[in-house]
Amino acid sequence: MAEDKLPSRSENFSEWYNQLVLKAELADYAPVRGCMVVRPYGWALWENIQAALDRRFKATGHVNAAFPLFIPMEFLEKEKAHVEGFSPELAVVTIGGGQKLEEPLVVRPTSETIIGYMYSKWIKSYRDLPVLINQWGNVVRWEMRTRLFLRTLEFYWQEGHTAHSTRQEAEEETLKILDVYTDFAINDAAVPVIPGKKTDIEKFAGAVYSTTIEAMMGDTRALQSGTSHFLGQNFAKAFNIQFLDWNNELQNVWTTSWGLSTRFIGAIIMTHGDDNGLVLPPNLAPTQIVVVPIYKSDDERTKVMEATEAVKKQLSADSQGFRVHIDTREEVTPGFKFNDWELRGVPLRIEIGPKDVEKGTVTFARRDMPGKAGKNFVSAENLAPQAREMLNTIQKAMFDKALAFRQANTYEPDNYEEFSRVVQNGWAYVWWCGDPVCEARIKEDTKATARCIPMEQPGGEGKCIVCGGKSDQKVYFAKAY
Ligand SMILES: [Zn+2]
């Protein structure tokens, strides 16, 4: 229960985040340093994220499966860039059942290798393609600096792995999933994201290229929120994933992989949260509506509870359904309840007091708009459509607010000096020549990194913000989580 106040978001964003995750009971620290326990409220949010994504994956022809947690060490060594990228983060099992293992096992950091191995057995002919498999699971990456949801030793995610007969089809798949992630982020999480390509320095270990959705958090830092990789034939060659084509010739398949993790919960917290706590988008909130009855005397209680029951009945009869909670706790005051549900980010609070009962109304209080500005008095009749409309309004307002914030904190500096200044507290959208040397200099001078080369480009040409060389692409640079 929330008793002591959160640190102010504007004064200490980092501490605000840490304490909010704990106080809202989303997650807790585990006994092993760097691991997290996802508490029921956090898991309920994750389940709604899963459902929203899973629906989209299935609508685009994907199916789910489950692959093992343990991967033979030699599998990782088969793809050079992959093992180099992941080696420092591997957890390795050397003893099993009290015996030293003949071959060490890696706890999966990601599953390209073991899935590639299985695909080499399953794929024989062009008729077996495409293979469009996703798995929901957990992975382990031995990170040194960890933060709940944003970077933990073990995290939960989905990883899609697809195999195709042509390069074009695999590249289309890579972009199709980027669209799925973008659509989910914008329409369900109300998080405005920029879909784009990663630079070579920032790409996934083993990919030909990586694509990403990047979001601006409430402190203006960037969060990579989901990635989709075109792997070319790198893993096909490493694992002999070959098929007989239409002309009966042996070919390597083309593969992709893509993932979105519990990190996205961090994106939702840091995009929408305020000094009073979480602000959850209605489409994903574990509880969309909380009903708080308000009364003093026994007489008032009888009337108010009767009206509350009627409200509950109306909302539960709605065909689309609402995720509703009626807060009937007797041991705490309504004021305490308001703060408690604000901390947990419930999008809409319905207050019912004796005066509401007299007038045949209820009070809608919007979480995204605290105080009087967010209060509306509505008729207690025909309540479900009014609640639906209000949730839609909140969902849209949250997106608009986050987008306006990103726009207000995105700059187009003219020179390197101005660039170095603006990336300290915002994003810079600038021309870049494509040379990794210029990219590395930016990182060294400012700690900002290339977030993405957005898919939507202005066209034309400009001068690289670092070297002044010719450039035909604009890139977002920012400090990132
Ligand atoms: Zn340059």
Q: How far is the CA of 440 from the centre of ligand 1 (A)?
A: 10
Q: Which residues contact 184 (CB under 8 A, 6 or more apart)?
A: 52, 53, 56, 260
- The pLDDT value recorded for residue 111 is 96
Q: How far is the CA of 415 from the centre of ligand 1 (A)?
A: 12
- The pLDDT value recorded for residue 393 is 98
CA atoms within 13 A on the CB side of 173: 29
Q: How far is the CA of 293 from the centre of ligand 1 (A)?
A: 62
Q: How far is the CA of 86 from the centre of ligand 1 (A)?
A: 29
Question: pLDDT tens across 353-392, in order?
Answer: 999 999 999 999 999 998 899 999 999 999 999 999 999 9
Q: How far is the CA of 422 from the centre of ligand 1 (A)?
A: 18
Question: pLDDT tens across 85-118, in order?
Answer: 888 899 999 999 999 999 999 999 999 999 999 9
Q: How far is the CA of 471 from the centre of ligand 1 (A)?
A: 8
> pLDDT exceeding 90 applies to what percent of the chain?
94
- The pLDDT value recorded for residue 151 is 95
pTM of the entire predicted model:
0.96
Q: How far is the CA of 410 from the centre of ligand 1 (A)?
A: 21
pLDDT band at 3; cut points 50, 70, 90: low
- The pLDDT value recorded for residue 82 is 83
Cβ < 5 A residues, ion ligand 1 = 433, 435, 438, 464, 466-467, 469
Q: How far is the CA of 221 from the centre of ligand 1 (A)?
A: 23
Average pLDDT estimate for 433-440: 97
> pLDDT exceeding 70 applies to what percent of the chain?
99
Confidence check: pLDDT of 31 > 80: yes
Question: pLDDT tens across 215-266, in order?
Answer: 999 999 999 999 999 999 999 999 999 999 999 999 999 999 999 999 999 9
Average pLDDT estimate for 334-350: 97
CA dist 197 and 174 (Å) reads 11
- The pLDDT value recorded for residue 390 is 98
Q: How far is the CA of 385 from the centre of ligand 1 (A)?
A: 55
Q: Which residues contact 403 (CB under 8 A, 6 or more apart)?
A: 192
Q: How far is the CA of 441 from the centre of ligand 1 (A)?
A: 10
- Tell me which of 261 and 318 has the higher pLDDT: 261
pLDDT band at 2; cut points 50, 70, 90: very low
Confidence check: pLDDT of 1 > 50: no
Q: How far is the CA of 171 from the centre of ligand 1 (A)?
A: 28
